[in-house]
Structure 1
Amino acid sequence: MHTKNIITAGLAVNEAQKALVMIHGRGGSAEDILSLAPHLAVQDFALLAPQASGNSWYPNSFLAAPERNEPWLTGALNVLKSVTEDLQQQGITAEQTYFLGFSQGACLMLEFITRNATRYGGAAAFTGGLIGDRIYPENYKGDFNGTPIFIGSSNPDMHVPVERVYATANILQDKHAKVILKVYDNMGHTINQDELGQVNKHIFGTVE
C-alpha cells in the first residue's frame, strides 16, 4: 500500500497563496513530474508531488474493473485526500489548490477530483480519463462550480482510448467544470508544447 511520501518544490506552503499537487504516471516518479514545473507558470506556487510505492498507483489498467485495482486504488485516492486535507489545515483552500497528472497520474487525479467535486483552482490531465471498466456515475459527488479543467490526449493512444477521454469530459461538464479538451492526432504517449501552453493560459491564467 501507499505511504504518504511527498516531494516538494517551489514555495513553502506557509509562504504560498496557491498549491499545485502533481501526480506522476506508472513507472515515473515524483521527481519526474516535478521536472515539468519550469515549463509552467507556477513560480508563486507550493509544489507537492506524492510518490507511489513501486512507482505505480495501481497494478492493472485504469480500464480494469475497479476491484481488480484494489486495495491500491483506494490507497492512492486516500493519499490525495490526505494531501488536500493537509493543505487546508495550512490555510490553502480548495479554490487555491490545483492538480496536474500525467497518464496513470492523470487518471488518478481525475478520479479523485470528480469523487470530491468542488471549486478547485484548476486541474490539468495529460492523457487520462475516469477509472473503471465503465464509468460509475454513482461514485461522483459534488459540483465543480466553474473549475477550469484541461484534458489533452492523443488519438490514438496506446493506454487511454479517446472514447473514455470524451466520456470523462462529459461527466466533468455535467458537474459544471469548465472543460478545455484537446485531442492531438498521433501525438504518442507524451506531453507536447501546445498542451503546456494551454495549461498556462487556461489553468494558471497567464496572458500571452
Structure 2
Amino acid sequence: MNNVIKKGLSLQEAKQAIILVHGRGATADSILSLSSHLNLTDYAILAPQANGNSWYPFGFMASDEGNKVALTIALEMLHQVFAEILDSGIPASKIVLAGFSQGACLSLEFAARNAQKLGGVVAFTGGLIGEKLRADNYSGDFQQTPVFIGSSNRDFHVPASRIQDSAALLRQMGAEVTVKLFDDPDHTIRAEEIDWVNNHIFI
C-alpha cells in the first residue's frame, strides 16, 4: 500500500508488528516519531496515512451518520494493513494497534469490531467511536488481550466517562483493560503512559 509508511524490521524479518495510527491533522511521519520512545526493536512498524490528515470529519462522539462514510474507509484501510501483516506470517497475537487521539479512537474501534487475541491495543487519549456506544457494533473475544487507555481526566476532546464506558465494554469482550487518567488538562502522551506500555505490552 502506497499510503503506509514502514519502519523497523521488514515484515519478513519481524516476528511481531505494530500499526501506529496518527491523530487528526497529523501524519504517519509524525506518529512514527513515537516509535523511538517505545520498545519496538524487534517490530515491523507500519503507519497508515489518512487522506487529508483526518480519519473522519467530526468528533468521535458526533452523529454516526456524519462520520459513517469516512469511518468505513478508515476502518477498511486498517483492515488492509492488518491483513498484509497476517499474510506475511505474523499472527494476530503478535500485532499491536496503537494511536493517539483520533488514531487512538480508530485503533480501539477497529480492535473491537474484530476482537481476537492481539498483541495489545494502546490508546493514548481515545475511546470507542459513536454518538452512543452500541455493543451490537462489536463482536469476537479478545482472549485477555492487554488494552491500555491513558488520558487527562478532563480532556477537552475525549470525556473520561466515554473512556470508562469503552473500557467496560472491552472488558465484557474479554480484554484486560488498564485505564490511567491523569489530573492535568493536557491533550498529550505522558512519560508515565510510555513507561507503562513499555513495561506491560512492549516486553
* TM norm. shorter chain > 0.5: yes
Q: In structure 2, which of residues 69, 72, 85 is the aligned counterpart of residue 71 of structure 1?
A: 69
Shift of 1:4: 5.9
**TM-score, with structure 2 as normaliser:** 0.98
Shift of 1:151: 0.4
Residue deviations 1:156-205 (CA, integer Å, cap 9, x gap): 00100000000000011101111111000114100010000011011112
- The alignment status of 1:155 with 2:153, answered yes or no, reads yes
Read off the aligned partner of 2:47 and give its amino acid letter. A
Moved more, 179-188 or 15-24: 179-188
Shift of 1:150: 0.6
Q: In structure 2, which of residues 25, 32, 35 is the aligned counterpart of residue 34 of structure 1?
A: 32
CA contact (8 A) 1:111 1:130 kept: yes
C-alpha separation between the residues in 2 aligned to 1:165 and 1:153? 9
C-alpha separation between the residues in 2 aligned to 1:54 and 1:45? 28
Residue deviations 1:70-94 (CA, integer Å, cap 9, x gap): 2100000000111111111110110
C-alpha separation between the residues in 1 aligned to 2:3 and 2:201? 26
Q: What 5-or-longer segments of structure 1 have no aligned partner?
A: none
Q: Secondary structure at the match of 1:150?
A: strand
C-alpha separation between the residues in 2 aligned to 1:100 and 1:54? 20
Indicate the residue corresponding to 1:10 in structure 2. Answer: 8
Indicate the residue corresponding to 1:133 in structure 2. Answer: 131
What does 1:100-139 correspond to in 2, within 5 Å? 100-139=98-137
C-alpha separation between the residues in 2 aligned to 1:193 and 1:180? 16
C-alpha separation between the residues in 2 aligned to 1:20 and 1:34? 11
**Residues 76, 59 of structure 1: alpha-carbon distance in 2 compared, 3 angstrom cutoff:** same
Indicate the residue corresponding to 2:79 in structure 1. Answer: 81
- The alignment status of 1:171 with 2:169, answered yes or no, reads yes
Q: What 5-or-longer segments of structure 2 have no aligned partner?
A: none
Q: In structure 1, which of residues 197, 200, 203 is the aligned counterpart of residue 198 of structure 2?
A: 200
Read off the aligned partner of 2:159 and give its amino acid letter. P
Residue deviations 1:5-34 (CA, integer Å, cap 9, x gap): 100100011000000000000001001110
Shift of 1:63: 0.5
Indicate the residue corresponding to 1:45 in structure 2. Answer: 43
C-alpha separation between the residues in 1 aligned to 2:151 and 2:157? 10
**TM-score, with structure 1 as normaliser:** 0.96
Q: Secondary structure at the match of 1:159?
A: coil
Q: How many residues align?
A: 203
Query: How many percent identity over aligned positions?
Result: 50
